[in-house]
């Protein structure tokens, strides 16, 4: 026990805390407000409080739990909505009302709830660390229970079991259907693997031009209103990950409200069942305490690693890491630490790296199971200036960069990803996968398309000076096809049932058809056919409908073009 003697917003200092450790969880005052020790000076402990500190006063008791900030992991996580320190918002609303009162203590998971347990091993079996001993059926997901110790199974249950009841005994140790894990400690694995499989998103500009590997990291920077949140929500809906963890870190309340009200009604395009059945939402809005905002990132990534260890591909959306960095800046300022660039703490880059490095595709502890955590982080640079510290630190760490452009969003071009500023360092390593599963010339077509779009940008500068009529026919033909590529291939409608998601095969056929037509038209132009005659061809009218056509129709159209 200690007592408060200094309070500065979310940062408080308690004395008589000898024996405390960094990251210990404490309870403060009569309401038992949760906080975490972030510094020690003699017998004094510096604490960041995860709740509003108004009403605290010097002399209030501080109780050290002796445990780090941890999350409760087990069946019941899916379809749940948590705040930054894993308090279940749905249960709080049911039990306490629509407002979160300070010091509220509601279990993150209902340990009395019974789930169907199916054992995968028998009594007498010698299990190894990391081996799956059975699974609970959690909605549509098999929630595997993994052995934390090696030994002989002396007892194992089957059927409906409450989480607080032991499901097995390994040696003399009870095994339960849940566990606790400190959020700031990454979960162990055997080996990190090469990132050789793409995360399919259904977005043509991402999958075809700037792909992301399963287990990879991507950044979506962009100014206000350019579509960061909408893009991340779409990735959560349509990516081929098994589990989605969506972290609303410091976002505006109305945006989080939209997510919380929309997600429960969305259908999973893969199963036709509710999307929430494979989603965990962590909601921490901009008006909530900043310390909890800082913790929400770690809460989300720990839940993601937990499902990764079962062998699932997890996609984590962090919206946005800039708000997280702002929370660190505020706490750092109250700690009177030496500020770095723009007031951010000197350890900003290290904190960002620690977070993104918890992604990856790994071999789990049993040496057989493969799982992955892919991280997509939104960055909100003030005024859209990506030269600021958070954007630059993120770019040094992530390998896919999807630069959002406010001018594209104003023209209602969605996704508003600028194809001239974006890049993906995964394209080369994913080339063998694309060649095997899509087509051998897929990445060649990608390179041709990007060069055409680059050439178009150069020509636009000339047009602004001398006008389009001064260009030769070959260049004007290229402009027509790049316009078609932008409007008919790169632009998508997220609200259209067909256009919201495009398979890789259809993406290939669309790109192949457009580029094949360009090559044929270019040859015709070289043989003396005028540009005006070529423009009378109905190809461009058909091209505007390609995104709504079936793969079979596109294959037939490609055959016609090749005979042209």
**Domain contains 78:** no
| CA pair distance 237, 267, nearest whole angstrom | 8
Same structural domain, 382 and 263: yes
Same structural domain, 420 and 448: no
* Inter-residue contact 537 to 484 (CB < 8 Å): no
Same structural domain, 166 and 220: no
Of 392, 425, 458, at which residue does a domain stop? 425
Tokens of 328: 């660190």
> In the prediction, which pLDDT does 128 show?
92
| CA pair distance 244, 280, nearest whole angstrom | 6
> In the prediction, which pLDDT does 115 show?
93
Instruction: Map tokens 């229970």 to a residue.
Output: 145
Return the CATH number at 132. 2.40.50.100
Same structural domain, 306 and 367: yes
Torsion of CA 39, 41, 45, 47, to 10 degrees: -30
**Domain contains 185:** no
**Domain contains 89:** no
Same structural domain, 544 and 417: no
Nearest alpha-carbon partner for 129 in 163, 171, 166: 171
**Domain contains 436:** no
DSSP designation for 446: H
Nearest alpha-carbon partner for 374 in 388, 363, 358, 387: 358
**Domain contains 25:** yes
- Please, which residues have CB within 8 angstroms of residue 520's CB and are 6 or more apart in sequence? 561, 562, 564
> In the prediction, which pLDDT does 227 show?
81
| CA pair distance 28, 22, nearest whole angstrom | 16
**Domain contains 79:** no
Beta strands in 293-417 (DSSP E): 313-319, 360-363, 370-379, 400-401
> In the prediction, which pLDDT does 265 show?
77
Residue 139 φ/ψ region, left for φ over 0, alpha for ψ in the -120 to 50 degree band, beta for the rest: left
Beta strands in 308-448 (DSSP E): 313-319, 360-363, 370-379, 400-401, 423-424
**Domain contains 362:** yes
Same structural domain, 319 and 412: yes
Same structural domain, 344 and 415: yes
Same structural domain, 260 and 400: yes
pLDDT in tens, the chain (564 residues): 899 999 988 999 999 998 899 999 999 999 999 999 999 998 999 999 998 888 899 999 999 999 999 999 999 999 999 988 898 988 888 877 777 778 888 889 999 999 999 999 999 999 999 999 999 999 889 999 999 999 999 999 999 999 999 999 998 899 999 999 999 999 999 999 999 999 999 999 999 999 999 999 999 998 887 888 888 888 888 898 999 999 988 877 777 777 777 777 777 777 778 888 899 999 888 777 888 888 899 999 999 999 999 999 999 999 889 989 998 998 898 888 888 899 999 999 999 999 999 999 999 999 999 999 999 999 988 877 888 999 999 999 999 999 999 889 888 899 999 999 999 999 999 999 999 999 999 999 999 999 999 999 999 888 888 877 788 889 989 999 999 999 999 999 988 888 989 999 999 999 999 999 999 999 988 888 888 888 888 888 888 899 999 999 999 988 888 877
Same structural domain, 214 and 306: yes
Provide the b/e sequence for 445-469 (b: ≥16 CB within 10 Å).
Answer: bbeebbebbeebeebeeebeeeeee
Return the CATH number at 366. 3.40.50.300
For the chain, the C-alpha Rg in angstroms (whole number) is 27
* Inter-residue contact 273 to 140 (CB < 8 Å): yes
CB atoms within 10 A of CB 521: 23
Same structural domain, 411 and 473: no
Count of structural domains, the chain: 4
What is the C-alpha end-to-end distance of the chain, expressed in Å?
84
Same structural domain, 524 and 479: yes
Same structural domain, 403 and 470: no
> In the prediction, which pLDDT does 149 show?
92
Tokens of 182: 């400190």
**Domain contains 184:** no
| CA pair distance 523, 321, nearest whole angstrom | 49
The answer to whether the peptide bond before residue 320 is cis (omega within 30 degrees of 0) is yes
Segments forming the whole domain that contains residue 447: 442-562
Return the CATH number at 543. 1.10.1140.10
Q: Mind giving me the DSSP string for 27-67?
A: EETTTTEEEEEEEEETTEEEEEESS--TT--TT-EEEEEEE
> In the prediction, which pLDDT does 276 show?
87
| CA pair distance 461, 422, nearest whole angstrom | 20
Q: From residue 223, how far is each of 322, 382, 390 by CA, in Å?
A: 12, 7, 13
Of 177, 205, 230, at which residue does a domain stop? 177
DSSP H or E run through 283: strand 279-285
> In the prediction, which pLDDT does 251 show?
77
Q: What is the pTM of this model?
A: 0.93
Of 425, 454, 483, at which residue does a domain stop? 425
């Amino acid at each position: 026990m200690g007592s408060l003697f200094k309070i500065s917003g979310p940062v408080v200092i308690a004395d008589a805390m000898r024996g405390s450790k960094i990251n210990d969880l404490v309870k403060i005052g009569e309401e038992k407000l949760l906080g975490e020790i972030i510094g020690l000076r003699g017998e004094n402990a510096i604490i960041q409080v995860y709740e509003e500190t108004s009403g605290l006063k010097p002399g209030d008791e501080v109780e050290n739990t002796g445990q780090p900030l941890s999350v409760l992991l087990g069946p019941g996580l899916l379809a749940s909505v948590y705040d930054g320190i894993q308090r279940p918002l749905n249960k709080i609303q049911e039990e306490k009302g629509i407002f979160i009162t300070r010091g509220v203590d509601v279990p993150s998971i209902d340990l009395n709830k019974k789930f169907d347990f199916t054992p995968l091993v028998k009594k007498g079996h010698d299990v190894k660390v990391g081996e799956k001993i059975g699974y609970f059926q959690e909605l549509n997901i098999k929630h595997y229970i993994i052995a934390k110790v090696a030994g002989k199974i002396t007892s194992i249950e089957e059927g409906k079991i409450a989480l607080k009841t032991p499901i097995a005994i390994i040696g003399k140790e009870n095994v339960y259907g849940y566990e606790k894990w400190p959020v700031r400690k990454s979960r162990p694995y055997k080996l990190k693997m090469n990132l050789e499989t793409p995360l399919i998103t259904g977005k043509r500009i991402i999958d075809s031009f700037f792909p992301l590997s399963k287990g990879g990291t991507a950044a979506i920077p962009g100014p206000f209103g350019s579509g960061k949140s909408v893009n991340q929500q779409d990735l959560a809906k349509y990516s081929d990950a098994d589990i989605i963890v969506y972290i609303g870190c410091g976002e505006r309340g109305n945006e989080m409200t939209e997510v919380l009200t929309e997600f429960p009604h969305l259908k999973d395009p893969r199963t036709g069942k509710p999307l929430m059945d494979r989603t965990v939402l962590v909601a921490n809005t901009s008006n909530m305490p900043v310390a909890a905002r800082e913790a929400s990132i770690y809460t989300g990534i720990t839940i993601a690693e937990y499902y990764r260890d079962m062998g699932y591909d997890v996609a984590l959306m962090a919206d946005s890491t800039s708000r997280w960095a702002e929370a660190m800046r505020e706490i750092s300022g109250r700690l009177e630490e030496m500020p770095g660039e723009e007031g951010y703490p000197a350890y900003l880059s290290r904190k960002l790296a620690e977070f993104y490095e918890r992604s990856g595709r790994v071999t789990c502890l049993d040496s057989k199971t493969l799982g992955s955590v892919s991280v997509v982080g939104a960055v909100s640079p003030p005024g859209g200036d990506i030269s600021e510290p958070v954007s630059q630190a993120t770019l040094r760490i992530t390998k896919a960069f999807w630069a959002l452009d406010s001018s594209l969003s104003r023209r209602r071009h969605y996704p508003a990803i600028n194809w001239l500023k974006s890049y993906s360092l995964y394209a080369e390593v994913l080339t063998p996968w694309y060649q095997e599963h899509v087509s051998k010339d897929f990445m060649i077509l990608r390179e041709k398309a990007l060069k055409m779009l680059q050439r178009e940008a150069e020509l636009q500068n000339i047009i602004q000076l001398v006008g389009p009529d001064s260009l030769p026919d070959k260049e004007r033909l290229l402009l027509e096809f790049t316009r078609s590529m932008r409007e008919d291939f790169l632009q998508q409608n997220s609200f259209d049932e067909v256009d919201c998601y495009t398979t890789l095969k259809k993406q290939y056929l669309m790109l192949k058809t457009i580029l094949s037509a360009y090559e044929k038209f270019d040859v015709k132009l070289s043989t003396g056919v005028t540009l005006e005659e070529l423009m009378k061809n109905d190809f461009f009218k058909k091209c505007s409908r390609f995104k709504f056509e079936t793969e079979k129709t596109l294959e037939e159209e490609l055959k016609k073009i090749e005979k042209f």
